[in-house]
Structures are given as structure tokens and as C-alpha cells.
Amino acid sequence: MQKSGPVRALGAMSGTSLDGVDAAMLVTDGVDIIAFGESAYRSYSPQEAAVLKGALGQWPHDGLAEVAELIETVHADVLSSFDDAELIGFHGQTLAHDPDNGRTHQCGDGQVLADVLGKDVVWDFRSADMTMGGQGAPLAPFYHFALAKWLKADAPVAFLNLGGVGNLTWIDPRLPKPQSEGALLAFDTGPANAPVNDLMLARRGSPFDEDGALAAEGEVDDHLIDRFLSHAFFYRMPPKSLDRDDFADLSASVEGLSDADAVATLTAAAVMGVIKAMEHCPAPPTQLLVTGGGRKNPTMMAMLAAGLDMPVLPVEDVGLDGDMLEAQAFAYLAVRVARGLPTSCAGTTGVRAAVSGGTISRPR
């Protein structure tokens, strides 16, 4: 890869929703977004998703060779369809995240992909941040800052990712760099789609609540929501991050409800976590731009709009691709790692100093 100028970087992301692998090309110099490229998606089969789900909460010493091979094979399958990538950003599959004890596990070996694909691969994005005292998550905020610059925003704006877990990035695009003091504040908001998806699969055999239709039929159990909001997580100052299953008690609490009421309550919990999170923003954002699967849930989006005094928009409304935004983020971060630029800072993960996290593996 050349030492300066634009790079055709390819990013891949497999999130905690366990639906599949997104891959997206981005042309960037690691600072500015030059152009958005082509993208691809490879869904996990029900059998593959079951293997991954069975591995959640496990660590490298748990003997996960079969799981790692699955992750690497699926990623190689989708990434091999891109011929002209100069650099690849590989996030891997998060199986466990324990920031309080300084450990995280993204399964999958970037060296394997480098050898198979014949390209330099940047991976293990979180470890350096955690070694320096950071939460190791979220990592997309530096890309969100670049997107705010690309959008020519001239006042604070926020990105909300509603994946398995929700996370919020507040941005002041008037500052020059993402690591500038006051430019970014980012943190997890609470569970988002994961509890809804898990319940839908268990009770209805469906991977998600399509169009929020079942939630729209149900009644929210306000008592359970109040109990959910009493969780200590919501009173901790950001930055802060979560594991996919940190709120397992929430899922257990709706077991006695009807399908519709349970899904409505879990959907409301995701929304209320976001509303509580907005209290931490240094200033009200001018708009909330929503990415991740939750933006396709009209019931969840309507609840957000009703609870927040600002425009709540899917990122498509401003010309972005919400399905590929996180994959693009890891393409962007890969270039930053390759050029020694920071990928996280105190405002995004609580790390002691801005740090460039990631391992570069070259084909052998």
C-alpha cells in the first residue's frame, strides 16, 4: 500500500445480530472519505448461525477451532468477490466482551485471511485500546466523525447504531480531528435488536420482528421498563460498553408475557436506553441518524421519534447506506492503522490516550 493518498480499502463486519457478513469498499486516505465503493452481503445459514450462537460468551481457551474456521471461511467467501482491494479490515466475530476485566474476544484469524486472499489484512482492532485502559468499544465513532465531515455538518449531530446492542456517537464536526478534545462522545446505549431477535426465534421461529409488526400489536409492560431502567449501567458516565448478553435478565423478565407484549416491551427497552443515553450528550444534536437493523423497524423508529425532541432519520435520508456503514468503518479504520493514525480516544472508549489499534498481517 502506498504511503499517502487514497486507498481502496475493503471492510468486513459480522455483528452481534449473527445474521451474516457485510463487506464494503471505501476509498479513503484515512482522514477524508473520497468515495463509497461496491458492497456485498453473505448471510449465515441457520446451521451456521446456530454454531455462532452456541459459541457466544466463550473465550479463545474454550477450544473454538471449528467456530474460527467457520468465521474465516464465510469472510473469505464474501471478500474474495472484490478484486481490486488494496487493504482489508477484518473485525472478526465478537463472542465475548468484558471491558471491566480488560478482555475481549473477536474470533477469527486475520493471518488466515491474508494468506487466503493474498492481501494485507488489518485485524484485532480492540486489544491495544483495552491494554491502554479503554473499553475497546465502540470503534465506529472515528468513521462517524469522517461521515459528519463528508455531510458538511456544521453543528453537533449524532449517529445511532441499532444492531444487537445499541451505540451512540455524538459528534461536533466543527473541530478538526476526531481525537480533538470535545469532538466525540461515544458509548453503548443498552440492548437493541438482540433480545427481540432471540425471542422471535425462540417463540416464532423467525429471525426478527419484520417491520416491527408484532411489537405494534402488543402493549408495553411499563413496570418491566421501569425495572430495566434502574440498572446501574444507565447511571454510569460514558464512555461505557456492553456485551451482547449483559441484559439477559431483561429477556427473562418478559417470559410470562404474550408474544406481542413481550416484543413490544423489548422494543421499548431498546428505545428507552437511547433516550436515557441522550442525557449524556454535551449539547443536543441537531439530528439523530440511525443505522443498523433497527432503522428498518417502523415501530422502534416511531417510538424513538415520539420520545426525542429532534429529527430521527435513517441514514439513507442523508445519502448513506445503513446496511454497510459498519463494514465501511472497518475499511476506514484499516487505513488509519496502516498509517499510524489513532482509531480511538478518551471520548470514544475511555482509553488513557488516543491509540491506533490493530494488527497488520501480510500474506505469507
Mean pLDDT, residues 308-325: 97
Quick check: 290 and 303 in contact, CB under 8 A? no
Beta bridge partners of 96: 105
| Per-residue pLDDT tens digits for 228-260 | 999 999 999 998 888 777 888 999 999 999 999
Mean pLDDT, residues 254-280: 98
**Within 13 A of 154's CA, how many CA atoms are on the CB side?**
0
Under DSSP, the state recorded for 60 is G
> Average pLDDT of the chain?
95
**What separation, in Å, do the N-terminal and C-terminal C-alpha atoms of the chain show?**
16
C-alpha cell at 236: 454510569
**Alpha-carbon Rg for the chain in angstroms:** 19
Domain boundaries, the chain: 7-135+330-343+354-361, 141-318
Instruction: Give the pLDDT of residue 2.
Output: 64
Two domains, one topology: 7-135+330-343+354-361 and 141-318? yes
- Given a cut of 80, is residue 345 above it in pLDDT? yes
d(CA 159, CA 143): 11
- Given a cut of 70, is residue 31 above it in pLDDT? yes
d(CA 209, CA 193): 9
Categorize the per-residue pLDDT at 291 as very low, low, confident or very high, splitting at 50, 70 and 90.
Answer: very high
Strands 87-98 and 121-123: parallel
Quick check: 23 and 12 in contact, CB under 8 A? yes
| Per-residue pLDDT tens digits for 124-177 | 999 999 999 999 999 999 999 999 999 999 999 999 999 889 999 999 999 999
Instruction: Give the pLDDT of residue 54.
Output: 95
Mean pLDDT, residues 273-299: 97
Instruction: Give the pLDDT of residue 1.
Output: 62
Percent of the chain with pLDDT over 70: 99
Max Cα-Cα span within the chain: 59
| Per-residue pLDDT tens digits for 49-91 | 999 999 999 999 888 999 999 999 999 999 999 989 999 999 9
Instruction: Give the pLDDT of residue 140.
Output: 95
Pick the CATH number of 7-135+330-343+354-361 from 3.40.50.11540, 3.30.70.2520, 3.40.50.300, 3.30.420.40: 3.30.420.40
Instruction: Give the pLDDT of residue 18.
Output: 85
Instruction: Give the pLDDT of residue 62.
Output: 87
Q: Domain 141-318 adopts which CATH fold?
A: Nucleotidyltransferase; domain 5 (3.30.420)
Using a 10 angstrom Cβ sphere, with 0-12 exposed, 13-18 middle and 19 or more buried, the burial of residue 235 is: exposed
C-alpha cell at 108: 477469527
d(CA 81, CA 139): 26
